[in-house]
Structure 1
């Protein structure tokens, strides 16, 4: 198995472990996982191709859908000035 897919598998295991933590302890590790997802996607694209990137990106978006929707709402409010 290519290194990138091995790292992606470990990323999923780490994300599952973070999900089992209490909410107040999830912020730091969750943010770190979200930051590491970008370079991981690039590595996967270079090693095994962009169709795999699409699959991994869908998995990442599925796991982080609620925090990403919250971030999108926050940015929308901030940019439009609505309360």
Structure 2
């Protein structure tokens, strides 16, 4: 198995472990994992192709759907308020 897919699997395990933490302890490791997700997607794309990038991106979006939704609402309110 390519290194990028192995790291992706470890990322999923780490995200699941972070999800089991109490809410007040999830922020820092969760943000770290979210920041590491982009280079991981690039690495997967370079090693195994765009189809696997779609699978990895789907996993990231499904795990972070609420924080990403909150970020989208925040940005929409900020952009909408400025116009």
Q: TM-score, normalised by structure 1?
A: 0.95
- Listed one character per residue, the Cα deviations across residues 49-82 of structure 1 (whole Å, up to 9, x for unaligned) are 1100001100100000000000000111111118
Partner of 1:15: 15
Partner of 1:28: 28
Partner of 1:41: 41
Moved over 2 A (4+): none
Structure 1 stretches lacking a partner, 5+ long: none
- Listed one character per residue, the Cα deviations across residues 23-73 of structure 1 (whole Å, up to 9, x for unaligned) are 111111110000000000000000011100001100100000000000000
SS at match of 1:38: helix
Alpha-carbon distance in 2 for matches of 1:34, 1:45: 17
Alpha-carbon distance in 2 for matches of 1:63, 1:46: 23
SS at match of 1:81: helix
SS at match of 1:21: coil
Structure 2 stretches lacking a partner, 5+ long: none
